[in-house]
Amino acid sequence: MTGWRRRSASAALAVVLDQLVGDPPNRLHPVAWLGQAMARREARAWSDDRLSGVRHLGAGLLLASLPTALGCVAARRAGGVAAERALSVGVVAMTLGARSLDRRAFEVGEALARGQLEQARLLLPALVGRDPAGLEEGEIARAVIESVAENTVDAVLAPLFWAAVGGAGAAAAYRAVNTLDAMVGYRNDRYGRFGWASARADDVANFLPARVGAALVALCSPGGACSVVQAVRRQAPSHPSPNAGVAEAAFAAALGLRLGGTNRYGDMVEHRAELGDGRPAAAADILRARRLARRVTFVSAAALAAPSLWQQWRRPRSSGPSRGVR
């Protein structure tokens, strides 16, 4: 099996593993360890300039990818190709968050379905960074759906894309970039310069996965495929993020909703352009968004597995030893 087929097959297996097991507790999760280590480094090395931010990004990339590379080498020496592949599948699964994303969206949706608005507000920060205080049902539903759309790229498609391109090391490096963007990639007084490199790296790393994601959303919503294409072309550029706008516009059009609007982040208020031409989001639409995200995840896994399965199917089968004439 060639390298890219092997990497793609491993990525598909990682989706299965993530669905079966999900994320471990934070105290055991390598991504949480990375975040803690980078927070400590930031406390020591922060400086209000871009060069310091570039160094911070480089340190995060090294911390994520070097142990992965060394682990794969050690696994191959100790147990051969099978052991290396098993480790790669496990590493890629750790970079995914499909099951945990679905679970958190489910919990908020269930709270809204039971009329527990305050509980939904308490659960919302696990999905989004905006201030949940005072949000009503429709605004909470919109926040959840926007998070499901964006994180279907960030926590599913992008890690899979980079795993297929460069293996477990590339997936780990992507997760470092995405984690650092979530930590320091803000346009404020503290991070405007220091977080610039992490934010730009995340934009670059997610550029292709976001557009692949929009295509998959269209594929998984054949009745609304044209609407998805039009929304991505016309409306996504108005979003402040070059990639989140693509994902959110695609989901909005596929679900027949209107996303975007006013978001509050602490003392900062951000007014975002509307995405989609449908009705405002409601609590029941959270389930529809979750189902769409699951379809996109499963179709992407099937596409990754297909080249390897096709090669296996086409491989000539041994007919066994010939009997000959005695």
Render pLDDT for 93-133 as a digit per residue (tens, 0 to 9): 999 999 999 999 999 999 999 999 999 999 999 999 888 99
Q: If 0-12 CB within 10 Å is exposed, 13-18 middle and 19+ buried, where does residue 143 land?
A: buried
Does residue 251 contact residue 259 with C-beta atoms inside 8 Å?
yes
pLDDT tier for residue 313 given thresholds of 50, 70 and 90:
confident
Residues contacting 12, CB < 8 A, separation 6+: 301, 302, 304, 305, 308
- What does the DSSP 8-state code read for residue 236? G
- Tokens 């989609």 locate to 276
Residue 268, pLDDT score: 78
Does residue 260 contact residue 234 with C-beta atoms inside 8 Å?
no
**pLDDT surpassing 70 at residue 326:** no
CA separation for the pair 216, 214 (Å, rounded): 5
H/E element, 279: strand 279-280
Residue 320, pLDDT score: 53
pLDDT tier for residue 2 given thresholds of 50, 70 and 90:
low
Q: Where are the domains of the chain?
A: 3-308
CA separation for the pair 85, 91 (Å, rounded): 10
Of the candidate ranges 9-13, 97-101, 142-146, 269-273, the one whose mean pLDDT is the lowest: 269-273
pLDDT tier for residue 312 given thresholds of 50, 70 and 90:
confident
The number of angstroms, rounded, from the C-alpha of 281 to the middle of its chain's C-alpha atoms is: 22
Average pLDDT, the chain: 93
**pLDDT surpassing 90 at residue 264:** no
Residue 170, pLDDT score: 96
Residue 182, pLDDT score: 94
**Pick from 277, 274, 234, 233: which is nearest to 255 by CA?**
277
CA separation for the pair 150, 296 (Å, rounded): 13
Q: 49-69 pLDDT, tens per residue?
A: 999 999 999 999 999 999 999
**pLDDT surpassing 50 at residue 244:** yes
**Pick from 164, 157, 198: which is nearest to 181 by CA?**
198
Residue 318, pLDDT score: 54
**Pick from 156, 158, 29: which is nearest to 94 by CA?**
29
* Alpha helical stretches, state H, the chain: 3-21, 30-45, 50-95, 98-113, 117-123, 137-152, 158-184, 196-220, 225-234, 244-255, 285-314
pLDDT tier for residue 315 given thresholds of 50, 70 and 90:
confident
299 — alpha (psi -120 to 50), left (phi > 0) or beta?
Answer: alpha
CA separation for the pair 176, 76 (Å, rounded): 24
Q: How many CA atoms lie within 13 A of 236 on its CB side?
A: 26
**pLDDT surpassing 90 at residue 86:** yes
Residue 321, pLDDT score: 55
